[in-house]
Structure 1
Amino acid sequence: MANHSAIVDPGSFVENLRSLRYREVLMSLATAAVLAGTVVLYPGADRVTSTLSAEVTTGTLALVFLVAVVAGVVKGAIGFGYALIATPVLASVIDVDPVVAVVVLAVPPWMINVFQVGETNTGLDYVRREWPLIALAVVGTVAGVTFLAEFRTGPLVPLLIALLILAYVAYQVLRNFVVVEEAHHPVALGGVGLLEGFLLGAANLGPLLPAYLHTFERDRERYVGGLSMVFAFVFTVKIAQSIAVGLLTPPLLWLGCAISVVTLVGLFLGTYLRRLGVDETWFNRAVVGMLFVIGVNILRKTAPKVFAGAF
């Protein structure tokens, strides 16, 4: 995959877009889709408030949008983490059913990942090489959304995931960010993809695949591009299925598009930071540090519920 300068040349971008270059077309498609959704689907302030079943103030929305920008910076810089940062905030700051937060925040990751597939120039070669991973992730997503529509995601599975992620962080720190050369096992990768799809579909909880791929892939563009390609398929299926089963209504789809538009600011900034060519040590520490924060946060939220139910 080609490296691209951190400096943006608008003239070259427009020229490449007119020539229907893959990279520029996908980046523009992702941006245009959420901009159009924000304008076309706007339901009116009253309906947005009634849909959320909460007294949504300007300050509350401003906080949600600020968090979306920060999450966009993280995703743009290291390739994952958006939904894991933004979902708990939307669920807690705006007093909504957690299911609403999960389905609304399927839209910004779709936009970001389609954008990053184009930005990293990740194409059909990756799909042909990793199609079992993508297929199993899609299967897991369908199962996860079905589970979300019928049940509620309990705390035990996230707790186990948090412990697994923290163990991985400890391993990386103790081994000084080791890379396991040529140990990429297709069966293990497929299993991770299946579970990753299920967790993203059911709870927007998806640190397993980033952690697994980080063990085997330290080229930043391939790492970010590969994650984005898998996630683009996952969130496309999740959005389509959520609409089909009635979880993602037009007002909620509008809210997801509106948050996506604000997220673009953070995405552009994070992408710029990644393309500045920060050294590998910083990138590895950023990825593992993000996984540590995610693991601790999941543990903090789920452990009391699990142990309270056990006694």
Structure 2
Amino acid sequence: MATDSPTLDAGTFLDNLLALHYREVLMTFATAVVVLGAVALYPGSGRVTAGFSGDVTTTTLAFVFAVAVVAGAVKGAVGFGYALIATPVLSSVIDPVVAVVVLAIPPWMINVFQVGETNTGLTYVRREWPLVVLAAVGTVVGVTFLSRYQAGPLVPMLIALLILAYVAFQVVQNFVVVEEAHHPVALGGVGLATGFLLGAANLGPLLPAYLHTFERDRERYVGGVSMVFAVVFTIKIVQTAAVGLLTPYLLWLGCAISVVTLVGLFLGTYLRRVGVDERWFNRAVVALLLVIGLNILRNTVPAVVGGL
């Protein structure tokens, strides 16, 4: 199947899957893992809402799942934003730390899927190894921090200000791109910070903003972000399980949300592949970063000011 085809040829996909082509195998693997997890770990009808706070109605669950679909569509279309959209919603109905743990599962599924879908592989890792390695290190530190402390509001607020400064720069410069200008040290630093923030608080907009300056090919951009995030969320899942934060029930909940998310992921992937022009894509990325930055400020500024 051609990687730039906007439509799904089911017969060709199946032929490639049976022939163990990298792209189709990875996409199928990501989907199958969460579907099997949702079925095998089902806790029973009496415990479906056991991890939620207070009385959770069917309407509340429907709203959570609807947000998961929307977040999946955004991630499929522009390559990032799932956790940043879904985390505040889930944090309103369960403990925020638990929400951060649960929402490691859907992004893992989406990013592994997109690594396959964009055909991003070892060539990217060999080229950008400082980014991948330091993101992994940052994740370990971030999850350790999460297991011991509550993430405070100051760091997310500073990240939001940085994102908004980037948005202003892009708008003023008419979406400038600096071809092949990124430095391994700078990229590694962004990877380290991104890994820590994703591990500790599910905040990962630094890497998309940085890569957006240097990489405007949509498939390479989405593939690069997804490769790093797939590594980060794999480590996060393993580490949260090892320290006891990720219980079988929370793993099931994450898989169940992932299954619903697939609807949005397929829709967003289709929208990205139907040939949406580059101007729309760039504006969508910057607009999403603007919304994310403003939302983080809305949630953190009162807490920071109140603590002074």
TM class, shorter-chain normalised? over 0.9
Name the residue aligned to 1:163: 161
Name the residue aligned to 2:101: 103
1:141 deviation in Å? 0.3
Alignment of 1:63-82 (within 5 A): 63-82=63-82
Alignment of 1:18-37 (within 5 A): 18-37=18-37
The 1-side partners of 2:45 and 2:198 are apart by 29
1:205 maps onto 2:197 in alignment: no
1:57 deviation in Å? 1.7
Name the residue aligned to 1:9: 9
Q: Identify the match of residue 273 of structure 2 among 272, 275, 291.
A: 275
Post-superposition, which runs of at least 4 consecutive aligned residues in structure 1 deviate over 6 A?
none
Name the residue aligned to 1:174: 172
The 1-side partners of 2:162 and 2:186 are apart by 15
Equivalent residues of 2:3, 2:119 under 8 A apart: no
Cα deviation digits, residues 41-98 of structure 1 (max 9, x gap): 0112333323334322211111000000000000000000000000000111x1x210
Cα deviation digits, residues 97-153 of structure 1 (max 9, x gap): 100100000000000000000000001101111111111001000000000000000
List alignment gaps of at least 5 residues for structure 2. Answer: none
The 2-side partners of 1:249 and 1:290 are apart by 32
Q: Identify the match of residue 251 of structure 2 among 250, 253, 264.
A: 253
Under a length normalisation based on structure 2, what TM-score does the superposition of the two structures give? Answer: 0.98
The 2-side partners of 1:97 and 1:3 are apart by 40
1:169 deviation in Å? 0.1
The 2-side partners of 1:22 and 1:180 are apart by 31
Q: Identify the match of residue 112 of structure 1 among 98, 110, 124.
A: 110
The 2-side partners of 1:235 and 1:155 are apart by 22
The 1-side partners of 2:193 and 2:291 are apart by 21
List alignment gaps of at least 5 residues for structure 1. Answer: none
Corresponding residue SS for 2:50: helix
Q: CA RMSD in A?
A: 0.9
Q: Which moved more, 1:177-186 or 1:301-310?
A: 177-186
Corresponding residue SS for 1:50: coil
Name the residue aligned to 1:56: 56
1:195 maps onto 2:193 in alignment: yes
Cα deviation digits, residues 247-302 of structure 1 (max 9, x gap): 11000000000000000000000000000111110000000000000000000000
* Structure 2 counterpart of 1:190, one-letter code: G
Q: Which moved more, 1:291-300 or 1:47-56?
A: 47-56
1:153 maps onto 2:159 in alignment: no
* Structure 2 counterpart of 1:102, one-letter code: V
The 1-side partners of 2:287 and 2:149 are apart by 32
Q: Identify the match of residue 232 of structure 1 among 230, 233, 243.
A: 230
Name the residue aligned to 1:304: 302
The 2-side partners of 1:72 and 1:49 are apart by 22
* Structure 1 counterpart of 2:131, one-letter code: L
The 2-side partners of 1:226 and 1:178 are apart by 19
> Identity of paired residues, percent?
77
* Structure 2 counterpart of 1:85, one-letter code: I
1:3 deviation in Å? 3.6
* Structure 1 counterpart of 2:9, one-letter code: D
* Structure 2 counterpart of 1:208, one-letter code: L
- What is the number of residues matched between the two proteins? 307
Cα deviation digits, residues 208-260 of structure 1 (max 9, x gap): 00000000000000000000000000000000001110111000000000000
Corresponding residue SS for 1:133: helix
Corresponding residue SS for 2:165: helix
The 2-side partners of 1:129 and 1:58 are apart by 47
Alignment of 1:133-144 (within 5 A): 133-144=131-142
